[in-house]
A and B are shown apart, each in its own frame.
Chain A
């Protein structure tokens, strides 16, 4: 991969990680809180922790190893994008920490 392509990947990765994480959390909540009640709350929390750790790792990868090379601006974009998305993943997961169940 060219240095520029590597930077573009580093910009896209946190976004895709956030999207996957959001879908995962939404799916977990839907699976436990809808009429079908497929899984119980502890399972939701456990799975969500795993998903969050993975997603955070993918986001922060772009932060700690924002690729140098082609452009200082894109490096900065990867760095800040990574941070924003890491924060957003934490926000997605926050609800699970604050509430102890589906909450009615």
Chain B
């Protein structure tokens, strides 16, 4: 043993050098477990919380079905009915489907890719608490008898102050936005984890297919969620402050909400489908005993699905009177998306045909998925045709279609995944016998409920009606649908029972119980908290199949990098994003409360806003900001080199574009750009659609806007110069340049604001949108200033050693992005000043 005995000559935080390797990775005991940041703990929390929301939302669905079981029923009053179906859709889409799948990804990705943890464990914890608190806010509306009742897509004008007074819509907008922060942070975290922390030799082509699915999904979340976040903020601003974004009398447009909502909402469907399909593509080869057929096809299909799903949003707006030419464009794209979908299904079926599948419970759920999802896809193609859509719009046909896609495409794979990965959570197998019953009940119940709804819909029953008169030919169908839903529910109850039963009484799971090929099964369930003693080099996509030495030895004796490294820190290997070659050592944070406190601060901010206690909102904001500062105020670890074994001498962190921090920052910039682009879309949209109103808006001042744009250029330039100086270890200059960057950013924000001096945001939607652009750009600039000053402070406080230029390196990327936003905003303002907003 060489490395283990050398004294810890590393710089940076001295956190646990007295502890053993196992001790360093231990999950804290007792209540302190809440401070855990491990992806295993956080991932499980996402999964369990998500499932709890599923049960609640499922219960609401049963209320709906019970109300509809006979015509003229009075089980629920009309008002409650609206709340119940709205909350059902909302909980299912926002608080169940996405978070639970992200939970599986958070849990599985490091295990599959050969990492000891996600790269940003604290972000994971932060995201979880945002999700939890956001979900609680949404749910708590029931307590105040203010549950949202405007449908899961909250259309305006129904959801404006005039038509929905009271707090119900605010609960929705604020709670959901909060929970979405969790999804977005998890997305950035997953992108970075997939690109930067893989086992040695795991190039992008050797990645398990699941990682491709999650990578694309994460990019889709990063780009797809911002439009809704912006939409929600604008709508909340309209409700709270009276800014007229969607008010047609002041040049706004209700359809803008629909555009923003569905720009998110359609990709959302694919965001739900892709990870589930990825789980299927992972489980299926195990049971067939052959690798996935056509990995290359699958990658092509996933990538193209990711892109094309962004070009479909207006197919939810076919009945709103958009120009036919527009409709044709969206109809064409909607039809085209079936090509990659078809290819994926084809890959799965070809895999199925390439061997003799073992009919285990997960396999049954995969077959259920294939059959149900294909039907849902076919009705989707029907709906993509405009004339048919006009007939079926807002009828039970749509309800049937969307549940075929969502339950078939997501719930069936999910339950299958629980059966498959349960040994990871409990160390035991779930019951094959009960599992068959679960499947049978769910499959029969599902089809009875929803197959019939197609007919109900074609016979003209509209969705979202609390009751219906007798004798329209809907009675029998509804009765059967309701009975079916009880059967489906029985299946789910049985599943929950089986899960809890197996925790105690299930057979102990052996190592690699299903004979799978991917790395998460390297250790016997339950794998230790650090995932891997040594991270084995990987030569194939199914390492456990193709590298027999991995399963021959005891798991902790497997050869790999990082074996004897004992720094008293949580560490894993960072890799080249493309080739997977080990590049650096990643030092990971230990359990901490800080992210939770940050999330609590934000919860206070949002909750107090709901209660109109604005001073309390301020307190929350301060708490959150302070927590973020503490979070970031860690001594830097970079600048030392360690022997990671197998001939790899690796530095701690690298300062270049391939580093995890930089990749994460690029991911974050993507989110910020998407937010900004959503605002610009709104501006151009209103300008284009309402020339009459635009003509009446006061013009921005060209001179100040132009100067602001120049400052924006300056911000980018100064940021880049800071990076250069920092890389050259020129301390004094770097500090000065950081300060200059901050000063220019302040100037840019001020000038942009000044140029809108003549524009009154309260009298026109266009003016309000202009101001929203300034506000958003200002926020980004504020973050930049905060960070630049922070870097300068650290340098002044001598917390930065030679070679520790990562924060300055990354700041430059943010500065360039912020600079770009300022320049675009300034250009729009100048155009508005000269061309006239009108």
Q: Which of under 10, 10 to 19, 20 to 34, or 35 or more describes the interface residues of A?
A: 35 or more
Give residues 670-704 of B contacting A (CB, 8 Å). 685, 687-692
Residues of B within 8 A of A87 (CB): 336, 339
Residues of A within 8 A of B326 (CB): 26, 29-30, 33
Contact (Cβ within 8 A) A19 B339: no
Chain A CB within 8 A of B311 CB: yes
Chain A CB within 8 A of B203 CB: yes
Contact (Cβ within 8 A) A74 B691: no
Tell me, in angstroms, the Cα distance from A78 to B340 when the chains sit together.
Answer: 13
- How many whole Å from B351's CB to the nearest CB in chain A? 14
Of all chain B residues, the one with the shortest Cβ separation from A102 is B323
Of all chain A residues, the one with the shortest Cβ separation from B307 is A15
Chain B CB within 8 A of A98 CB: yes
Chain A CB within 8 A of B299 CB: yes
Contact (Cβ within 8 A) A70 B205: yes
Contact (Cβ within 8 A) A81 B204: no
Chain A CB within 8 A of B324 CB: yes
Give residues 26-80 of A contacting B (CB, 8 Å). 26, 29-31, 33-36, 38, 70-80
Contact (Cβ within 8 A) A95 B204: no
- How many whole Å from B677's CB to the nearest CB in chain A? 10
Given contacts A36-B689, A74-B299, contact A84 B304 (CB under 8 A): yes
Tell me, in angstroms, the Cα distance from A7 to B525 when the chains sit together.
Answer: 37
How many cross-chain pairs have Cβ atoms below 8 Å apart between A and B?
139
Contact (Cβ within 8 A) B688 A81: no
Contact (Cβ within 8 A) A80 B204: no
Give residues 606-639 of B contacting A (CB, 8 Å). none
Contact (Cβ within 8 A) A76 B296: yes
- How many whole Å from B747's CB to the nearest CB in chain A? 32
- How many whole Å from B629's CB to the nearest CB in chain A? 37
Contact (Cβ within 8 A) B296 A75: yes
Q: Among the listed A74, A92, A101, A103, which residue makes an inter-chain contact with B205, where contact means beta carbons less than 8 Å apart?
A: A74
Contact (Cβ within 8 A) B300 A76: yes
Contact (Cβ within 8 A) A84 B297: no
Tell me, in angstroms, the Cα distance from A94 to B304 when the chains sit together.
Answer: 19
Tell me, in angstroms, the Cα distance from A12 to B579 when the chains sit together.
Answer: 17
Chain A CB within 8 A of B328 CB: yes
Give residues 149-207 of B contacting A (CB, 8 Å). 203-205
Chain A CB within 8 A of B104 CB: no
Residues of B within 8 A of A95 (CB): 325, 328-329, 331-332
Contact (Cβ within 8 A) A92 B332: yes
Residues of A within 8 A of B319 (CB): none
Residues of B within 8 A of A16 (CB): 307
Contact (Cβ within 8 A) B325 A71: no
Of all chain A residues, the one with the shortest Cβ separation from B306 is A15
Chain A CB within 8 A of B333 CB: yes
Interface majority SS on A: helix, strand, loop or mixed?
Answer: helix
A interface footprint on B637-658 (CB within 8 Å = 1, 0 otherwise): 0000000000000000000000
Contact (Cβ within 8 A) A8 B323: no
Contact (Cβ within 8 A) A81 B303: yes
Given contacts A2-B579, A70-B205, A98-B328, contact A31 B299 (CB under 8 A): no
Residues of B within 8 A of A14 (CB): 304
Chain A CB within 8 A of B343 CB: yes
Contact (Cβ within 8 A) B310 A102: no
Give residues 327-358 of B contacting A (CB, 8 Å). 328-329, 331-333, 335-336, 339-340, 343
Q: Among the listed B204, B325, B578, which residue makes an inter-chain contact with A101, where contact means beta carbons less than 8 Å apart?
A: B325
Contact (Cβ within 8 A) A30 B688: yes
Tell me, in angstroms, the Cα distance from A38 to B687 when the chains sit together.
Answer: 11
Residues of A within 8 A of B300 (CB): 11, 76-81, 84
Give residues 78-104 of A contacting B (CB, 8 Å). 78-81, 84-85, 87-88, 91-92, 94-96, 98-99, 101-104
Interface majority SS on B: helix, strand, loop or mixed?
Answer: helix
Chain A CB within 8 A of B790 CB: no
Residues of B within 8 A of A70 (CB): 203, 205
Of all chain B residues, the one with the shortest Cβ separation from A80 is B300
- How many whole Å from B786's CB to the nearest CB in chain A? 33
Of all chain B residues, the one with the shortest Cβ separation from A23 is B311
Of all chain A residues, the one with the shortest Cβ separation from B323 is A33
Given contacts A5-B578, A15-B306, contact A91 B296 (CB under 8 A): no
Chain A CB within 8 A of B295 CB: yes
Residues of B within 8 A of A5 (CB): 578
Contact (Cβ within 8 A) B310 A73: no
Q: Among the listed B297, B324, B332, B685, which residue makes an inter-chain contact with A80, where contact means beta carbons less than 8 Å apart?
A: B297
- How many whole Å from B124's CB to the nearest CB in chain A? 27
Contact (Cβ within 8 A) A88 B325: no
Residues of B within 8 A of A91 (CB): 332-333, 335-336
Tell me, in angstroms, the Cα distance from A73 to B304 when the chains sit together.
Answer: 16
Of all chain A residues, the one with the shortest Cβ separation from B687 is A36
Contact (Cβ within 8 A) A103 B323: yes
Contact (Cβ within 8 A) B329 A29: yes
Residues of A within 8 A of B34 (CB): none
Chain A CB within 8 A of B509 CB: no
Tell me, in angstroms, the Cα distance from A97 to B691 when the chains sit together.
Answer: 28
Tell me, in angstroms, the Cα distance from A88 to B300 when the chains sit together.
Answer: 13
Residues of B within 8 A of A84 (CB): 300-301, 304, 339-340, 343
Residues of B within 8 A of A94 (CB): 328, 332
Given contacts A71-B205, A101-B325, contact A35 B690 (CB under 8 A): yes
Contact (Cβ within 8 A) A80 B296: yes
Residues of A within 8 A of B399 (CB): none
Tell me, in angstroms, the Cα distance from A35 to B326 when the chains sit together.
Answer: 14
Residues of B within 8 A of A18 (CB): 304, 307-308, 311
Tell me, in angstroms, the Cα distance from A33 to B323 when the chains sit together.
Answer: 7
- How many whole Å from B554's CB to the nearest CB in chain A? 32
Given contacts A80-B296, A85-B307, A91-B336, contact A36 B691 (CB under 8 A): yes
Contact (Cβ within 8 A) A19 B325: no
Contact (Cβ within 8 A) B688 A92: no
Tell me, in angstroms, the Cα distance from A82 to B375 when the chains sit together.
Answer: 28
Of all chain A residues, the one with the shortest Cβ separation from B310 is A19
- How many whole Å from A24's CB to the nearest CB in chain B? 11
A interface footprint on B298-321 (CB within 8 Å = 1, 0 otherwise): 011101101110110000000000
- How many whole Å from B317's CB to the nearest CB in chain A? 13
Given contacts A35-B690, A84-B300, contact A4 B578 (CB under 8 A): yes
Tell me, in angstroms, the Cα distance from A100 to B44 when the chains sit together.
Answer: 55
Contact (Cβ within 8 A) B688 A35: yes
Tell me, in angstroms, the Cα distance from A22 to B336 when the chains sit together.
Answer: 13
Of all chain A residues, the one with the shortest Cβ separation from B580 is A4
- How many whole Å from A46's CB to the nearest CB in chain B? 15
Contact (Cβ within 8 A) A74 B296: yes
Can you show 24 pairs from A to B with CB atoms below 8 A apart? A4-B204, A5-B578, A11-B299, A25-B329, A26-B329, A30-B685, A34-B688, A35-B689, A72-B296, A74-B204, A74-B205, A74-B296, A76-B296, A77-B295, A77-B296, A77-B300, A77-B303, A80-B343, A84-B300, A87-B336, A95-B329, A95-B332, A98-B328, A103-B323
List 14 additional contacts besides A19-B307, A95-B325; criterion CB under 8 Å. Answer: A8-B578, A11-B299, A12-B303, A34-B689, A73-B299, A74-B204, A77-B303, A81-B299, A84-B340, A91-B336, A92-B329, A95-B332, A102-B323, A102-B325
Which 6 residue pairs are nearest across A and B when measured between Cβ atoms? A103-B324, A76-B296, A95-B328, A73-B296, A33-B323, A71-B205
A interface list, Cβ under 8 A from B: 2, 4-5, 8, 11-12, 14-16, 18-19, 22, 25-26, 29-31, 33-36, 38, 70-81, 84-85, 87-88, 91-92, 94-96, 98-99, 101-104
